Amino acid sequence: MGGQIHYRHAGQGRAVILLGGAPRSGGQFEPVMEMLAAQGMLAIAPDIPGFGGSTAQPAGTTMEDRAECLVPVLDALGVDRAIVFGLHSGHKLGAAFAARHIDRTAGLIVAGKSHSIGVDQAQRNSTVRGAVLERYFINGADEVDGPDPMRGWTAQWRSLTKLWWDDAIHTAPDKILMLRALENRIIDDLAARRTVRDFYSANFAFDLSAALAAVRAPALIVEITSDGEDASIGRQGAGMAALMADAKICEIKETDPIGLFFHIGFDAVAHLIMTFAASLEH
């Protein structure tokens, strides 16, 4: 895989790779990285190819090939094995890496809302498309450099400006933290206008269930639940965990519907990772 891979890292100790949802850069993990570093871990947050400061890959590049970006990052930091944490699209990338690089995967955490961790690929793709349609593809939002480029620009602008008026922003207890997270998301979304469509094509083509079945490292399935998804599709974590050689399930109620804080909060994500890392030592 050619091009530049941009990454952030903090701390020393047991390594964990942090992979977020498309089209976010590794910058979304900075508060979590600080928490993990303070607890004696080496936190690594790469920008997925095509997002942030990392070079985009050619159209048609598979999720498996995109996951190869993690190898030179680990090599550059002198890390032999790492825990891999992936949220939403990031857990597809993490699963692809863990399935292909068994010897370099100390453990795998697959985190996501129920719609993103279903066993059935067709059903999962259908619900994921529904979740991202308005954000990236509705009303020409993906027509960036086509015959009517203004159509894509204005569609994405309408999608992003909705965030300014969400009640969750104006009622947040920590306004500064909320605004910083919002600013980072908007920058990431704008920077990835030309690459997010190709990434989701790889996402939809990827067989998550087959990849997880090939993983041999200890794993944790973190299902982020909500009343709406409980009613519409039901819980999915148990079915996913059943495919794996060594997986446990953790269910956490969603507290952040917008997703600026990984749906469950920075503290909760850091605690999950530290608890899982400690379990590997016994």
Question: What are the tokens at 245?
Answer: 């050689």
CA dihedral 73, 93, 10, 80 (to 10 degrees): -50
Amino acid at 23: P
Q: How far apart are CA 108 and CA 10, in angstroms?
A: 20
The H-or-E segment that residue 52 falls in is none
Q: How confident is the model at residue 1, as a pLDDT?
A: 59
What parts of the chain have a pLDDT lower than 50? none
Does the predicted model carry a pTM greater than 0.75? yes
Q: How confident is the model at residue 143, as a pLDDT?
A: 74
Q: How confident is the model at residue 159, as a pLDDT?
A: 79
Q: How confident is the model at residue 282, as a pLDDT?
A: 67
In eight-state DSSP terms, residue 135 is: I
Q: How far apart are CA 9 and CA 205, in angstroms?
A: 30
Q: Does residue 112 contact residue 250 with C-beta atoms inside 8 Å?
A: no
In eight-state DSSP terms, residue 24 is: -
Helix (H, G, I), strand (E, B) or coil at 230: helix
- Report the length, in residues, of the chain: 282
Apex CA 79: angle with CA 100 and CA 217, to 5°? Answer: 40
What distance lies between CA 249 and its chain's CA centroid?
A: 18
Q: How confident is the model at residue 236, as a pLDDT?
A: 96
Q: Does residue 115 contact residue 124 with C-beta atoms inside 8 Å?
A: yes
Q: How confident is the model at residue 206, as a pLDDT?
A: 96
What domains are there in the chain, each with its CATH number? 7-128+206-279 (3.40.50.1820)
